[in-house]
Amino acid sequence: MAQEGYASPSIQASSATHADLLTGGLAVMLAKVVAANPAITNPSTAPTATATGGGASGGNLAAGNYFYSYTWVDGAGETLHKESASALTVASGNIPRVTIPALPTGVCSANIYVSAAGGASGSETLYATGITGTTFDLSFAAPVEAGITIPTANTTGAASILARINAGSAGNYQLLWQRLSDLITQWLSGYPMSFQQTRLAIRHLDYCFALWKQVTKEVLTLMAANPGTLGYVQGATVPKFRRTFP
């Protein structure tokens, strides 16, 4: 299993109607889609693990007792963590297998946090990302980037990055593309950027694009179902050729 992974945002459709489109245009459509993708509820089921679920040998964790936890992730961020009920005892070479619930609606992946050997409850740091299944084997010695602690706030939900999403409706959609270009250029240049923070920034942009894609998809669907009728309507002085809707 890869230690670092990525899963595309799971965007939920809104309940927008053609009446919403007629009365509010793009702004209302965006608001409807944002509302349909609220913050994810913090996980409530504790993860479980078996010390040799992934194998009794070949692992890279040091022998010791480990606390572990997980968070739910969407395009905007992640929830608070849910920790194991107790520490797991691991022998040298063991590959523990962690089990978590299936991803809830709106969640695109899970992150797993693991303490150091002998670490206290609540001391877990980010160990693996992009997990979409219900099990994950802890075969790696350490995370790709050390020191990313468990979240202190739930940062999920489209509303949490509304300012970035609204760059498009404010006529500044090009700023999103410019930000993406800058991030990738800096990363490829070797600039000493935080691995996880850079990924988070690009994830936010991906989420913005995905939400806007959902908006345009819904607009096009409503247009197809409500094409209206071309014809003459009475203007202030003379008839005008217009499209009208029931």
Reported as type and span, the H/E element at residue 121 is: none
Angle at 85 between CA 80 and CA 89, to 5 degrees: 115
Mean pLDDT of all residues belonging to the chain: 94
168 has pLDDT over 80: no
For the stretch 127-149, pLDDT in tens is 999 999 999 999 999 988 989 99
The owner of tokens 């991803």 is 103
> Which amino acid belongs to residue 240?
K
199 has pLDDT over 90: yes
In this structure, the number of other CB atoms found within 10 A of the CB of residue 136 comes to 26
Better pLDDT: 168 or 62: 62
How far apart, in Å, are the Cα atoms of 131 and each of 67, 128, 191?
Answer: 18, 8, 28
For the stretch 66-118, pLDDT in tens is 999 999 999 999 999 999 999 999 999 999 999 999 999 999 999 999 999 99
Q: What is the DSSP string of 11-51?
A: PPP----HHHHHHHHHHHHHHHHHHTS-PPPPP-SPPEEET
The owner of tokens 């005008």 is 240
Q: Are 100 and 47 in contact (CB under 8 A)?
A: yes
Q: Are 16 and 32 in contact (CB under 8 A)?
A: yes
CA 241 – CA 8 distance, rounded (Å): 44
Q: Is the pTM of this model over 0.85?
A: yes
Structure token digits, residue 27? 């702004």
169 has pLDDT over 70: no
Which residues constitute the domain of residue 194? 1-246
Domain tally, the chain: 1
Residue 164: pLDDT band by 50, 70, 90 thresholds?
confident
Instruction: Find the length of the chain.
Output: 246
Which pLDDT value is given to residue 173?
75
DSSP state of 149: B
Better pLDDT: 175 or 90: 90
Which pLDDT value is given to residue 1?
76
- What SS3 state is found at 90? strand
